[in-house]
Amino acid sequence: MWKSNNIETNAIHGGKPSQGEHGPLSTPIYQTSTFVFDDVQQGADRFAGDTHGHIYSRLGNPTVDELEARMAILEETEAAAAFGSGMGAVSAAVFGLLKAGDHLITSHRLYGCTFALFSHQLPALGIEVSFVDLADEQKLRAAIQPNTKVIYGETPINPCLTVIDLDVIGAIGRERGITTIIDNTFLSPILQRPATHGIDLVLHSATKYLNGHGDVVAGILCGSRELVDQIKMTTRKDMGAVISPNDAWLIIRGLKTLHLRVQRHCENAQRVAEYLQGHSAIAKIYYPGLPDHPGYRLLGSQMQGAGGVMAFELQCSFEQAVAFINQLQLCKRAVSLGDAETLIQHPASMTHSTYEPEELAAAGISRTLIRLAVGLENAEDILADLDQALATIA
């Protein structure tokens, strides 16, 4: 299998199997649920793992295989597993690695459904969960218990863009024999590759930048062959959050332009962040591309760019913040990120609506906090739309 030293080239060619009979440029979509065996022995050998070959698409499919091979190359890991959603990847990872009596360390600052899974579903099954500030090494070390099996984080973190130091998390994991998982959705492998900082499993909601066109829900997990195979053959196989071959194909297509799209998302977001920072209606802005953001120090080392997502608080009442969002015309009121369209949402009533008021406070989410996922439009048009809507609350 061909591999370059350049991520842009690997995003286009990486993981492609040899040409096959017809030599298609575009990967074929193997739209099949099952695979035919020549005879009983061949079926038995495949089930026993004695020979390679597909069995049934919940266990593996050639189109999905290509997506997984390409993602492993991009994230610089040995292997990858694709899922039917980002949450499918999160739950397959934690249910595959944890059992009753084990302990997970994470942060209050998480994507809302990941937080719901960790704060409600895991404890109900006897798995202990501690929420600590993962950006604080001392607090993280103090939270480790003899039964700690997993440290799970996002960086930059939903929705205030807090950045955690991956070298610190990776080093603690290795030193203490704890599996580390990082959700890399916000930056994509173009801007950040957690495995190169010693992280064991890298997770994506592939719904976002990887696909990039707002038409697929999917997830990816990248890591060592051993960990990925373990998850594929237990929780992915038995809980069944598999991706369809058609959706895998759409993500393979999305990956071909990932580097161009991410570059433009970053350029547009930087323009928007600088504009908002200078606007009198803005009380606070969170974007790691601005020098006064604490995550800025890791730009150029851990992160090769600040990404396309930012959050800000308006200097106004809750009702005025809602009126501002409703006034926007180009920017679409929608959750998600990483799409061509600029998307705006209100975390307290949308992505983080499962949080109790004290949990919102712990995660730094006020009622006037707004999240903006800057798209690929001409930056002038995005600025003009924000400007006209801000004028209504001035």
Longest dimension (CA), the chain: 75
Question: Look-up: residue for tokens 């404890």?
Answer: 123
Q: Which residue number, 129 or 281, has a Cβ lying nearer to ligand PLP?
A: 129
Cα 268 from Cα 261, distance rounded (Å): 11
Q: Which of the following is catalytic: 102, 109, 111, 152?
A: 111
Nearest residue (beta carbon) to ligand PLP: 86
Amino acid at 334: A
Q: Which residue number, 219 or 254, has a Cβ lying nearer to ligand PLP?
A: 219
Minimum gap (Å) between residue 351 Cβ and ligand PLP: 7
DSSP classification of residue 333: E
Cα 87 from Cα 152, distance rounded (Å): 14
| 41 to 80: interface string for ligand PLP, x by CB under 6 A | ----------------------------------------
Residue 10 in contact with ligand PLP, rule: CB under 6 A = no
Question: Nearest-CA neighbor of 188 among 84, 269, 308, 108?
Answer: 308
Q: Which residue number, 154 or 313, has a Cβ lying nearer to ligand PLP?
A: 154
Task: Tell me if residue 139 is catalytic.
Answer: no
Q: Which residue number, 243 or 331, has a Cβ lying nearer to ligand PLP?
A: 243
Cα 149 from Cα 103, distance rounded (Å): 6
- How buried is residue 319: exposed, middle or buried, by Cβ count under 10 Å (0-12/13-18/19+)? exposed
Minimum gap (Å) between residue 202 Cβ and ligand PLP: 12
Task: Tell me if residue 183 is catalytic.
Answer: yes
Residue 86 in contact with ligand PLP, rule: CB under 6 A = yes
Residue of 194, 219, 295, 347 interacting with ligand PLP (CB under 6 A): 219
Residue 10's Cα: distance from chain center in Å?
19
Q: Which of the following is catalytic: 46, 109, 193, 208?
A: 208
Q: Which residue number, 363 or 390, has a Cβ lying nearer to ligand PLP?
A: 363
Peptide bond into 156 cis (omega under 30): yes
Task: Tell me if residue 371 is catalytic.
Answer: no
Q: Which residue number, 211 or 368, has a Cβ lying nearer to ligand PLP?
A: 211
Cα 153 from Cα 162, distance rounded (Å): 11
Minimum gap (Å) between residue 141 Cβ and ligand PLP: 25
Question: Nearest-CA neighbor of 111 among 342, 373, 356, 336?
Answer: 336
Q: Which of the following is catalytic: 65, 102, 165, 183?
A: 183
Say how many C-beta atoms besides its own lie within 10 A of residue 283's C-beta: 13
Residue 247 in contact with ligand PLP, rule: CB under 6 A = no
Cα 240 from Cα 62, distance rounded (Å): 17
Residue of 10, 85, 106, 302 interacting with ligand PLP (CB under 6 A): 85
Task: Tell me if residue 208 is catalytic.
Answer: yes
User: What are the residues binding ligand PLP (CB under 6 A)?
Assistant: 85-87, 111, 113-114, 154, 158, 183, 185, 205, 207, 217, 219
